[in-house]
Amino acid sequence: MTHVIVVGGGPVGTVAALDAARSGFDVTIVEAATEVQDDPRASTLHPPTLEMLDDLGLLDEVLRLGLTARYFDFWDKPNRSLVARLDHEVLRDETRFPFVVQTEQHKIARLGLDRLEALPNVDVRLGTRVTGVEQSAGTATVHAEGPGGPVDLAGDWVIGCDGARSTVRKSMDIEFEGYTWDERFVVLTTLFDFAEAMDCSYRAYFADPVEWSNLFKVAGDDLKGRWRVVFPARPGESDEEALSDESVRRRMEAVWPGASAGEVVHGKLYRVHQRVAQKFRVGRVLLSGDAAHVNNPIGGLGLNCGIHDAVELMEALRAHEGGASTDVLDAYETRRRDLNIRYVQEQTVGNKRRLEETDPELRAQRLDELREIAADEESQRRFLRRTSLLESVREPHVTG
């Protein structure tokens, strides 16, 4: 029986492991932490990702634990005016899910691990940190530190889903090409209800030459609802400065007067990168998710693209185990790397530029473009097809 070792029990690793188990492979999933980390990161799941989670039998729970968002807003922050409201319903003929779902990524990982624990062909190893990977012609072996001490696990394939600092990627000497932005991003979570105050959608981007912002409503673990607000920190701004009561108050008030009255229940700063691994495959070792690529979160694309990697990788592995040559695995690398560069890297950099544009003429032009897109259904459809990655997953590919 084919044995797949998945390194990393985050959202991408758990999806990869579930798909591998469903494919009839023996699966070992190795996660360094003893429980799922719940810091605020991805929440937006786009239509093609919903299709994949549905195929894996996870969607009902993902919907129950999240919020459905049909609309997506762009605002002009200095004027506090709505520029464009885009409606995912224009995708109704192309996907069975013409909306996004805001479900926090830790819920997906928890759900995935719970399902995996119940499967007879899956070995879930929490509290086990992979320290290196080696391979020979017929086997790939991970070295790890587990609760009982060092352990070696051998399998047919190792899938590195161990995040941006991937040990699997480093063990294979794969370069992580790209750059890190000077400024970090501040993510505040507040109980202030922006939709009630300003009638914005559950996902809203605010362009501002001084300080752009993004707003998202998430359900929270209590399902009572809360908002995440993302801002750029100034280059060099410390955690203490960015999370001080005064700067939190100032940033919230700049989005909407009175917003600082809401209780801020969490605050965190993230370093932000645009990087793509030079290779996604070395022999029996393959990469998916943040181990393979990272990007700024404007557009909500990193996790979505990572889940698409995992699902397409399993398609390729099934084809290979069914008799296709290793060309299908090389095609995984070529296609997923190219799609990440053309859709995810390009759009997230473009999104950041659009929100932070300081040149008044260019800024006006970019906002006018959004107004024109929103005014025409076909333009909206083309725009959302691209921003939701639907266009990327529908690009033809060969699985051998």
For residue 218, the cross-strand partners are 226
**Strand pairing partners for 160?**
7, 287
Q: Quick check: 11 binds ligand FAD (CB under 6 A)?
A: yes
- Exactly one of 113, 187, 219, 339 binds ligand FAD (CB under 6 A); that residue is 187
- For the bound state, the minimum distance from the C-beta of residue 288 to ligand FAD, rounded and expressed in Å, comes to 7
Give the binding range for ligand FAD (CB under 6 A) out of 18-26, 299-307, 330-338, 366-374.
299-307
Closest CB 151 distance from ligand FAD, rounded Å:
12
Q: What whole-number distance in Å separates Cα of residue 19 and Cα of residue 298? A: 28
Sheet holding 81-87: strands in order across? 81-87, 71-76, 203-207, 213-218, 226-232, 185-190, 264-270
Piece of the chain touching ligand FAD by CB under 6 A; list 37-45, 173-181, 246-254, 334-342: 37-45
Q: Does residue 7 touch ligand FAD according to CB under 6 A?
A: yes
Examine residue 302 and tell whether it contacts ligand FAD (CB under 6 A).
Answer: yes
DSSP secondary structure, 331-354, as one string: HHHHHHHHHIIIIIIHHHHHHHHH
User: What are the CA-CA distances from residue 145 to residues 123, 127, 252 (Å)?
Assistant: 16, 8, 43
- Considering beta carbons, is residue 44 or 274 the nearer one to ligand FAD? 44
Q: 159 or 363: whose CB is closer to ligand FAD?
A: 159
Binding of ligand FAD by 163 (CB under 6 A): yes
Choosing from 297, 318, 367, 393, the residue that interacts with ligand FAD (CB under 6 A) is: 297
Q: What is the x/- site pattern for ligand FAD, positions 15-34, by CB under 6 A?
A: ---------------xxxx-
Q: Read off the tokens for 29.
A: 């999933």
Q: Which is nearer to ligand FAD, 66 or 289 (CB)?
A: 289
Q: Is 267 in the site for ligand FAD (CB under 6 A)?
A: no
In 3D space, the residue among 206, 225, 205 whose CA is nearest the CA of residue 265 turns out to be 225
Q: How far apart are CA 290 and CA 104, in angstroms?
A: 16
Q: CA 309: distance to chain centroid?
A: 11
Cα separations in angstroms, 185 against 200, 215, 396: 22, 13, 35
- Enter the DSSP assignment of 182: S
By the rule CB under 6 A, 190 interacts with ligand FAD: no
| 115-134 binders of ligand FAD (CB under 6 A) | 129-130
- The four Cα atoms 360, 227, 266, 106 give a dihedral, to 10 degrees, of -110
* 6, 19, 27, 44: which one binds ligand FAD (CB under 6 A): 44
**Residues in the site for ligand FAD, rule: CB under 6 A?**
7-13, 30-33, 41-44, 105, 129-130, 161-163, 167, 185, 187, 270, 289-290, 297, 300-304, 306
